[in-house]
Structure 1
Amino acid sequence: MKSLLMQQWDDFWKLNPAKRRWEMPFVAAMASGVPLFIGAYFQHVEYGLVSSLGGMTFLYMPHTKLAHRIVFMLCAASCMTTSFLFGLVAHHFPHLMVPLITILTFALTLMSRYFRIAPPGNLFFLMAAMIAAYMPLPVDHIPYQVGLLFMGALMACILGLFYTLYLMARGVPEQPIMPVEQDMELVVSDSVIVALFVGASLLLAQILDMPRPYWVPVSCIAVLQGINFRAVWSKQLHRITGTALGVVLAWGLLSLHMNVWYMCLTMMTLSTLIEFVVVRHYAFAVVFITPLTIFLAEAGNPGMVNEVIAARLWDTLLGSAMGLLGGYCLHQLGLRHWLSHRLHVMRG
């Protein structure tokens, strides 16, 4: 046990080698930050926040050939927009919220596993859906909000095009296109397990009457992205530790009561820092991810600092615990093969 704890301690502080080009974090910050400044200029920062969420589409850009990159990013933009629309619609069916989010998670996980989408995988798609699911909007406002998010996603695609042309001019080598997953029964069984635990985490948050339950399934699916159970355990520790430090940073930033211009600049700075450090140390990145996501979802509630901070911490703890339990089931080969067999029998 002592040896295991010492190894876990050493792994926690280990820095991964960074293979990401230094220009990428600045372009990613532009993709999510420019819509914020446009919204602030027209005195509608709430519109800028929605478009900024769409700007996170840039993070899905692969390092493949130009044609494949553009098609892939446009597909990611469509998926981000569809998930956001799904969440806005689900808001008007509160009694069906859990099954609807479970179905959406299954579809997103199935897609990301089949096409072997690199991290962030299905994380930001589900985050867009969950934020939208708790936006109190009337039905006739839905098309306008969806259009705002799609405009942000489209701007991310345009920035991705220019960034790719810049890389081509610099002679940066391209990576091969990843082949699709061949074992469809395993993909389906994994998607079922992930969807069930994400849905269960949302149901548990609702049963506990948590004030902001949307962060629970997001934390759950973030932890479930570990490639094995040890990685899931490590990611849970990183997420909880990073969130605990991040809420302190968020409390300090929210306590400043910044005007919209300083808020936009702060969010762009946080985005840049995240993309610089996330490939090196996940917990360190979560320290900056926490205040950024709080700004994205809670900028309209500037006077509720303590409530927001407490809710985010408890949501992360519950979501990470559910993610750890789901990761244990996900990486039990016997359970996965049994579920694959049952699905094969049902299909037959």
Structure 2
Amino acid sequence: MPHRTHASSVAARLWRRLRAEWTELVRVQKSDRPWQLPAAAAIASGGPLLAAAWHGNLALGLAASLGGLVFLYLPRAAGARGLARVAGCAIGMVASHAIGTASQVSPAATVAATGLVAFAAALLCRWRGVGPPAALFFVMAVSIAAQTPVHPGRALLNTELLAAGCLLALAVAVAYRLLLPHDIAATPARPAPAGGVVILAESLVIGSFVALSLAVAQAAGLERPYWVPVSCMAVLQGASLRAAWTRQLQRIAGTGVGMLLFGALAAAPLTAWHVAAAVTGLTFVVETLVVRHYGAAVVFITPLAVLLAEAAQLPGQVAGHSVHDLMQARLLDTVIGCLFGLAGAAVLHTSALRSLVGRWVRRDAR
């Protein structure tokens, strides 16, 4: 009898835990984000592809479309001063892309470059209080650039195109502020910033795990694993270990569903106009959903990111099996990146790290 009572108690606790986990996974947040903001982001990212489709050369618009994402660094709480942040992030995006392109000389250089950009982006974003997407797009820029084979004569052109996309994003941000000057939310209360040594230590952890995730993916022989460090960084940006755990579950599940959506898109004949329209529409949907439910947004983030990285080669891959292989590869990338991101978050949010940093500070103060 006591044994049955104990088993019932364990089952009840497990059921409550599973219910709490499910509630956390499906929780939908409220949002005061106006529809004009996702629309402006869609213009900044989709505009270059629409122009490229008009000129019949989709490849020229892909790097510029990636640069257009820098519009999302426009803070709603900073008024016109937020434009300076967009300009600064644009410089960072261009530098990240250039570093990634230069790192194609060897796999070791690619790992080092990706880890360096992740470290520097995390350090600067935490130091300056840059909120989401924070360091994520810088890692995306360096990772896609590093993993996309490019003719040496065209390497500089791609970076120039990304810079042009960043300029378009800045112009869209200026227009957005002029047309919607009332859309300036109250500045949210921020916790006291961590000390410089703590920020440095946390950024080192982030950069190390992002680099390690890519190194393991390369050692495993994965082809173009650009989504591994991106997924790792996305999980590492969780505000707590609990948030990182929830985010990695949402990202894996969302990527699985998102790959089915990408498969449906790739199964149809994809012209340059179709790709441009898809990127524009997906950007609008992502920026509408991401503040409400991260997992739902990932369903649309997945085909968006794959189109930005693969669209130039996609017409030759639509012969069924190649698209299927691509879907499997990106899902495997996500799982590996999320696992390393969760491991890094466990280190990042443990009290042992802060205790170690505290000992360094006290030792240096003597």
Instruction: Describe how 1:305-316 pairs up with structure 2 within 5 A.
Output: 305-316=323-334
Q: How does 1:315-326 map to 2 (within 5 A)?
A: 315-326=333-344
* Helix, strand or coil at the partner of 2:76: coil
Corresponding position: 1:127 with 2:140: yes
Q: Conserved in 1, the CA contact under 8 Å of 2:67 and 2:164?
A: yes
- Single out whichever of 181-190 and 321-330 deviates more from structure 2: 181-190
1:193-226 deviation line (CA, Å, top 9, x unaligned): 1111111100110110111211111100001111
For the residues of structure 1 that align with 2:193 and 2:104, how far apart are their CA atoms? 33
Please say if residues 91 and 134 of structure 1, whose CA atoms lie closer than 8 Å, have aligned partners that are also in contact.
yes
Cα separation, partners in 2 of 1:65 and 1:141, compared to 1, 3 Å:
same
Paired AA for residue 305 in structure 1: V
Shift of 1:301: 2.3
Aligned to 2:303: 291
Structure 2: distance between partners of 1:344 and 1:142: 47
Residues 274-330 of structure 1, C-alpha deviations (whole Å, 9 max, x = no match): 111111111110000111111010112221311210100000011111111111111
Is it true that 1:275 corresponds to 2:287 in the alignment? yes
Task: Name the residue aligned to 2:67.
Answer: 54
Return the TM-score normalized by structure 1: 0.95
Range 90-99 or range 16-25, more displaced? 90-99
Q: Which of 88, 101, 112 is equivalent to 1:99? A: 112
Q: Give me the whole-angstrom Cα distance separating, in 1, the residues matched to 2:155 and 2:306.
A: 22
- So what's the TM-score if we normalise by structure 2? 0.90
Q: Deviations over 1:11-53 (max 9, x none)?
A: 1111100121111111110000110011111121111011000
SS in 1 for 2:180: helix
Which amino acid is 1:42 matched to?
H
Counterpart secondary structure, 2:105: coil
Q: How does 1:251-266 map to 2 (within 5 A)?
A: 251-266=263-278
Cα pair distance change 1:32/1:347, threshold 3 Å: farther
Q: Which amino acid aligns with 2:266?
A: L
Give the letter for the 1:258 counterpart.
Answer: L
For the residue of structure 2 that corresponds to 1:137, the secondary structure is coil
Q: What secondary structure is seen at the aligned counterpart in 1 of 2:269?
A: coil
1:250 paired to 2:262: yes
The match for 1:148 is: 161
Match of 1:36 in 2: 49
CA distance in structure 2 between the aligned counterparts of 1:344 and 1:49, rounded to whole angstroms: 49
Q: In 1, Cα distance between the equivalents of 2:162 and 2:362?
A: 39
5 Å-filtered alignment, 1:309-348, equals 309-339=327-357, 341-342=359-360
Correspondence for 1:5 among 10, 14, 18: 18
Q: Given residue 122 of structure 2, which amino acid in structure 1 is its aligned partner?
A: T
Give me the identity figure in percent. 35
Q: Is the 8 A contact 1:31 1:55 kept in 2?
A: yes
Q: Report the Cα offset of residue 77 of structure 1.
A: 0.7
SS in 2 for 1:341: helix
Deviation at 1:174, TM superposition (A): 4.8
Q: What RMSD over aligned residues (CA atoms) do the two structures have, in Å?
A: 1.9
From 183, 197, 201, the equivalent of 1:172 is 183
- The CA distance in 1 between the partners of 2:355 and 2:96, in whole Å, is 30
Name the counterpart of 1:84.
97
- For 1:230 and 1:182, how far apart are their aligned partners in 2? 20
2:253, 2:239 → 1: CA distance? 20
Distance in 2 (alpha carbons) for counterparts of 1:284 and 1:340 = 39
- The amino acid of 1:255's aligned partner reads A
CA separation of 1:38/1:344 partners in 2, compared to 1, >3 Å: closer, same or farther? farther
Describe the SS at the equivalent of 1:26.
helix
Gaps of 5+ in 2: 1-13
The count of residues paired between Structure 1 and Structure 2 equals 346
